[in-house]
Structure 1
Amino acid sequence: MNRTISIIGCGWLGLPLSKELAKIGHQVHGSTTQEMKIPLIEGANVKPYLLDINHKGIKNNVFFDSEIIIITLPPSSDNYEENISRLIEAIEYNTISKVIFISSSSVYPNTNKRVKESDAKRIISKHSGVALLDIENQFIKNKNFESSILRFAGLYGPDRHPGRFLKRKSQLAGGMNPVNLIHLDDCLAIIKTIIEKDAWGYIFNACADEHPTRKEFYTAASQSLGLPKPEFTKEDTDFKIVDSSYLKTTLSYQFLHPDPMVDLEAE
């Protein structure tokens, strides 16, 4: 069944997601704060909207005249908590009955073991000052609509090489720690699966099956970018392994990119 879907934020994730959903027949609204992005959104057969959620009164914007909304805003954006409150007000005011909120595996502390959905803690980010678990709860506990939360691991894919930050670092710690990553293709496919299966009211971890060590992975990443091989200190650091078994079982989903190392070898 085709739906009307609004996507907040047509960036690295939101724009290809808009294109994919439009391609399979959904009527898609895509928001941006930059007028220069309008042709890109239109080129994806998506209806573009200039929308600045920093401003009051957004609930009257026809962008919100849809059944489903997907929120891809990174918590690093300014006034994040206020903007989320404003978005929830707009959702309640309009016809939207379903929400997908893109969260992060940063809700888990480094416990040196596998973490499942129930292991999340209220952690205030040092970078944004936001506790993502508080934001998630605003959606999950709201009785005016149904929400599903996706806790993505580290994102990689086109124009987002996993070794890109090595240009700024010559030494890394925790060489034997596992990495937690997910490819853009899987991000898109999982979101499409949630919509197709009407999987609402869930919280899912989303991370590739395999977790190579940091030393193994970033050494290969540096070689694929033609960068000097990174050095690893002897310092031990805490880690976590993000477990996506609940998502795989509930949605009958198999990852398209189960092993990030294979993607490096293919380049």
Structure 2
Amino acid sequence: MNAPDAAILGMGYLGRPLAEKLFEQGSRVAALKRRLTSDDINLPVALDTADLNRVGVFQEAFWQQHWADKPVWICLLPPSALNDYPAVIGGWLALAQQFGVQHIVYAGSISVYGDGERVCDEHSPPQPATAGAVNIMAAEQLLLQSGVPHIDILRLGGLYCAQRHPLTSLLKRSSIAGAHRPVNMLHRGWAVAALYQAACTPGGIRVRNIVEPQHPPKHQFYRAEAAKLGLPEAAFDMADRSGGKTVTTAFDDFTIQAV
């Protein structure tokens, strides 16, 4: 795959490894984050900082200087990062249209399917049940209506890796619900690989679920992860027999395997 020059909105958990992967493959990369940290020094990226909640942020000079010539724009921002998520995504898309961007990759979430007990693929109707999921659905609609010829909406499963694992927060709780619900997880490495593949292979309008194919019960998944990490097991309420969704994909163009 030929790695394109790219601009990344959100230089964090997914943005940093994606930027590094693109750069290693010869891409010129621009990125935007809210504030700099010591880890940002000497990165091979045209890195700018800005508060996207601020009025007039899309008139800043760095958009023209570092973003206008990048053929692929990538959005990795979660709704929690913004006061008015749809409005900011809409302003960002308007700028993309102004610059003639041909390809946008958006990291969404399987939360748009809600929590009801069912099997979901890309043809299943969304049932967003949280404010965050509603905002993601609104952003998806803006993307699909933007007129940009290549749109990739990747609905990512629950993210984890050894350095930042949801087990850490579970260990602070007791009698955790949903012990027998299937998990829909996605290792950060596979998430970055899918985003990179999307950026390198424009293919019109694509909405894809990016989730590992195995869906063990939650208590089983986290027990195995605790053993890998050398941590205690999470305290699940094993009497809770409630079910949940299983997210699959109807497509074979993004191959994800468990790690």
TM-score of Structure 1 vs Structure 2, range by shorter chain = 0.7 to 0.9
Q: TM-score, normalised by structure 1?
A: 0.85
**Which amino acid counterpart does residue 64 of structure 1 have in structure 2?**
W
Contact 1:29 1:47 in 2 (8 A): yes
Q: What is the distance in 2 between the residues matched to 1:180 and 1:41?
A: 35
1:29 is matched with 30
- Residues 3-50 of structure 1 show CA distances to partners (whole Å, capped at 9, x for unaligned) of 22100010010011000011101111011111325x62642x222112
Letter of the structure 2 residue corresponding to residue 71 of structure 1: C
1:136-192 Cα offsets, whole Å, 9 max, x none, are 011012114431100000001142124122222121222222111001111111122
- Aligned-partner Cα distance in 2 for 1:193–1:129: 24
> Does the aligned pair in 1 maintain the 2:114–2:129 contact within 8 Å?
no
Unaligned runs of 5+ in 1: none
Give the match for residue 249 of structure 2: 244
Alignment root-mean-square deviation, CA:
2.2
C-alpha deviation, 1:245, in angstroms: 4.2
Contact persistence 1:109–1:120 (CA under 8 A): no
Equivalent residue number for residue 214 of structure 1: 218
Does the Cα contact within 8 Å between 1:146 and 1:201 map onto a contact in 2? Answer: yes
Give the direction of change, closer, same or farther, for the CA distance of 1:63–1:130 in structure 2 (3 Å limit): farther
Cα distance between partner residues in 2 of 1:237 and 1:110: 11
Conserved 8 A contact 2:150-2:202: no
- Counterpart among 141, 145, 167 of residue 163 in structure 1: 167
Number of equivalences: 251
Do residues 84 (structure 1) and 85 (structure 2) align?
no
Going from structure 1 to structure 2, the CA distance change for 1:42 and 1:245 (only over 3 Å counts) comes to farther
**What is the identity, as a one-letter code, of the residue corresponding to 1:52?**
D
CA positional deviation for 1:233: 4.1
| 81-90 vs 199-208, greater mean Cα deviation | 81-90
Aligned to 2:122: 117
Equivalent in the alignment of 2:151:
147
Partner of 1:54: 53
Secondary structure class of the residue paired with 2:123 = helix
Partners of 1:204 and 1:132 in 2: how far apart?
14
Deviations 1:175-213 (A, max 9, x none): 222111001111111122223322331000000011111
Of 98, 107, 110, the residue aligned with 1:105 is 110
Structure 2 CA distance for partners of 1:89 and 1:122, relative to 1, 3 Å: farther
The equivalent residue for 2:40 is 40
Conservation of the 8 A alpha-carbon contact between 1:110 and 1:239: yes
Which among 176, 182, 190 is matched to residue 178 of structure 1?
182
Offset at residue 102 of structure 1 (A): 0.7
The sequence identity of aligned pairs, in percent, is: 22
5+ residue gaps, structure 2? none
Aligned partners of 1:254, 1:121: CA distance in 2, in Å? Answer: 22
| Aligned position for 1:227 | 232
**Residues 78 and 117 of structure 1, relative CA distance in 2, 3 Å threshold:** same
Contact 1:166 1:222 in 2 (8 A): no
Matched, 1:95 2:100: yes
